[in-house]
Structure 1
Amino acid sequence: MTKIAILGANGRLGRVVARAFIDAGFDIRAVTRTGKMPAELKGATAVAGDALDRQSLIQATEGVDIIFNGLNPIYTDWGKCLPMAQNVMAACHANGALHLFPGTVYNYGSPMPAVITEDTPFHPTTEKGRIRCAMEDLFRREAEAGRVRTILLRAGDFFGGTGSGSWFDLIVAAKINKGTYTAPGPADLVHEWAYLPDFAVGFVALARNLDKLGFYEALNFPGHAVTDLQIKAAVEKAVGHQLKMAAMPWWVLRAGSPFVAMWREIVSMSYLRFQPHRLASTRLEGVIGEIPHTPLDRAVAEALEDVGIATVNGAAEAA
């Protein structure tokens, strides 16, 4: 049985990916700083490992075949990203493990390309974009040197899964119980979203089709390229009533950004909310077959339930 270590198993992405690999029959090791894991990961083995301590991470991943890198520091702590990535490379190399990594669209900078393919060049214009490019450069160098094989799957903004910390639960759905849908940007602007359960199944499919992949691969995951008007309609269908439309008060964040570090970091990435973009792939379907894609109405209903918002029929029955 293939053994896979999930780094960041307490995080939203790590939990969903771990669950998908458990359901697919993999032997899962959930690596967290404390050695404790969410109850929803029943069937996994909990192991303590600190991603900023190289030896600790090497020991925590000893004997695994695959390391899923779900490490994602909070926005104000991104100085840790590259040191963590270096330690993950060391752990993969020491244990002969393949590296699975979730990519972002930060690499492309502003102005955003309207359509992003696997061949679209990087043009980072923010510190976070430059950090992400540096990480991917590291992964490519390790692969080209024959030390660590990396398979990267790039996605847009996450929604779905338990926990907090996404634009969907923090902004979009924050006032739904009060009758309001909050749009982070222009309501008719196309934005790339990834429904996490679909994204997770995509990683499982890649792990099952490694014979079709090279030593370094960066693939796109086309999720839901939709507008806030479309998401709002899906939310209204799920909750059974119409909602008022409100705009995110960007002026408040901009005014306070010199004094509030998190607001400053959010404002630095605000262009993503004002420039249309979507992901396209010329290769993913050829590798894994049909790309996982839950219909928007059902995905939104399930995502609402995941964050504790009641739906009319329950997510399982949503159209």
Structure 2
Amino acid sequence: MNSNKKALVLGATGGIGGEVARLLMQRGWEVTALHRNPASVSDKSTAHFWLPGDVMKQEDVIQAAMGKSLIVHAVNPPGYRDWEKLVLPMMDNSIAAAKATGARIVLPGTVYNFGPDVFPSVSEDAAQFPITKKGKIRVELEHRLRLAASKGVKSLIVRAGDFFGPKAANSWFSQGLVTPGKSPSVVRYPGNAGIGHQWAYLPDVAETMVRLIERESELEKFARFHMDGHWDHDGKQMVKAIGMATGNTDLKGSWFPWPVFRLLAPFQQTLKEMLEMRYLWRAQVRMSNKKLVDFLGDEPRTPLDIAVRTTLTGLGCIKPKVANLELNSNFVSSH
């Protein structure tokens, strides 16, 4: 157990950063967030302290990290803009801060690192030959953390499937399957029929990260774990869960407008990036959580129906069931 329970969270206003920050606070950690304009943050419940500063400025990150044992690096450029210009410098600044303070960096990872050559079952040490720009940047992020580990900088990477959750605004679930603020009459499903897909509920990802953080002394300097999350074996289970949550059991998956994406991609960066990731919907790919289960004993997993209902409620797609206590996160550990 880490005796210095002080953390710096970069990206505390985002989906995964906010979830990890809230959970750390519940577990007795003192959480500090770095934000360019803290006065503009309407919900400051994800941190005890909000410091003004820019993640792109190394001195700001180092100063904010002083006295901390943990740096949660959950910051990303909004709308996928300028990834190639911003993502790597931000990581370099976190590495510099970790080197100066001895803190461990925690990075939410993705399947983007991997190409079709290692599908369908992917382990933590699988070869990384991505076929997309974002994937190549992700590989470089991890390469820099591995190199830093050889110089004493500790890190933890938890890779998971496509995020969904009540605060996951920038996700396939909220930008593809449903429309926030509207009750879904159909679900625009991007995948091919019969192809499985891996999903990750944000509160489960946060719980997994914090459980690993709580076993700091047992972690490798460069530690990597995969989550299984919710495995939709045929692409129909997520659609079915959305139908159950909305009370429309006849809800079907509809045609996804990939041709429209192709036409508009040159003018809209988000659509361009989503189109680039289409290969992950055309092939079955599943990250194996064997290492995680061997280490923790199980994987935190909220039942899919509760996770989807909570997500749709948070996105304003359905009204909250005030009397239904299931809307609170209800972790069920399973392999």
Per the shorter chain, which TM-score range? over 0.9
Structure 1 residues 188 and 312: alpha-carbon distance in aligned structure 2, compared to 1, 3 A threshold: farther
Q: 1:172 aligns with which of 149, 156, 177?
A: 177
Matches within 5 A, 1:268-283: 268-283=276-291
| Alignment match, 1:9 | 12
2:158 equivalent to 1:149: no
CA–CA separation in structure 1 for the residues paired with 2:264 and 2:159: 32
Q: Give the letter aligned to residue 286 of structure 2.
A: R
CA–CA separation in structure 2 for the residues paired with 1:40 and 1:199: 21
| Alignment match, 2:143 | 137
CA–CA separation in structure 2 for the residues paired with 1:229 and 1:244: 9
2:268 equivalent to 1:260: yes
Does the aligned pair in 1 maintain the 2:16–2:168 contact within 8 Å?
Answer: no
| Alignment match, 1:189 | 195
Percent identity of paired positions between Structure 1 and Structure 2 = 34
Does the aligned pair in 2 maintain the 1:47–1:60 contact within 8 Å?
Answer: yes
Shift of 1:208: 0.7
Structure 1 residues 311 and 189: alpha-carbon distance in aligned structure 2, compared to 1, 3 A threshold: farther
Does the aligned pair in 2 maintain the 1:223–1:279 contact within 8 Å?
Answer: no
Q: 2:236 aligns with which of 216, 229, 232?
A: 229
Does the aligned pair in 2 maintain the 1:238–1:312 contact within 8 Å?
Answer: no
2:297 equivalent to 1:289: yes
Runs of 4+ in 1 over 6 A off after TM superposition: none
Shift of 1:250: 0.2
CA–CA separation in structure 2 for the residues paired with 1:232 and 1:10: 28
| TM-score (norm. length: structure 1) | 0.93
Does the aligned pair in 1 maintain the 2:191–2:281 contact within 8 Å?
Answer: yes
2:52 equivalent to 1:51: no
Shift of 1:106: 0.7
Shift of 1:271: 0.9
| Alignment match, 1:300 | 308
What SS class does the counterpart of residue 25 from structure 1 fall into? coil
Unpaired segments ≥5 residues, structure 1: none
| Alignment match, 2:166 | 161
Alpha-carbon displacement from aligned partner over 1:30-61 (angstroms, at most 9, x marks no partner)? 22221254526266211222111101111122
CA–CA separation in structure 2 for the residues paired with 1:43 and 1:50: 17
| TM-score (norm. length: structure 2) | 0.89
Shift of 1:173: 1.8
Shift of 1:245: 2.6
Q: Give the letter aligned to residue 276 of structure 1.
A: Q
CA–CA separation in structure 1 for the residues paired with 2:190 and 2:52: 37
Structure 1 residues 312 and 67: alpha-carbon distance in aligned structure 2, compared to 1, 3 A threshold: closer
Does the aligned pair in 1 maintain the 2:198–2:229 contact within 8 Å?
Answer: yes
Structure 1 residues 194 and 24: alpha-carbon distance in aligned structure 2, compared to 1, 3 A threshold: same
Shift of 1:216: 0.9
What SS class does the counterpart of residue 102 from structure 1 fall into? strand
CA–CA separation in structure 2 for the residues paired with 1:50 and 1:142: 22
CA–CA separation in structure 2 for the residues paired with 1:43 and 1:12: 14
Question: Which range is displaced more, 192-201 or 252-261?
Answer: 252-261
Alpha-carbon displacement from aligned partner over 1:191-224 (angstroms, at most 9, x marks no partner)? 1111000000111101111122111111111111
2:254 equivalent to 1:249: no
What SS class does the counterpart of residue 51 from structure 1 fall into? coil
Does the aligned pair in 2 maintain the 1:30–1:46 contact within 8 Å?
Answer: yes
**How many positions carry a matched residue from both structures?**
318
Shift of 1:317: 3.3
Shift of 1:75: 1.5
Unpaired segments ≥5 residues, structure 2: 331-335
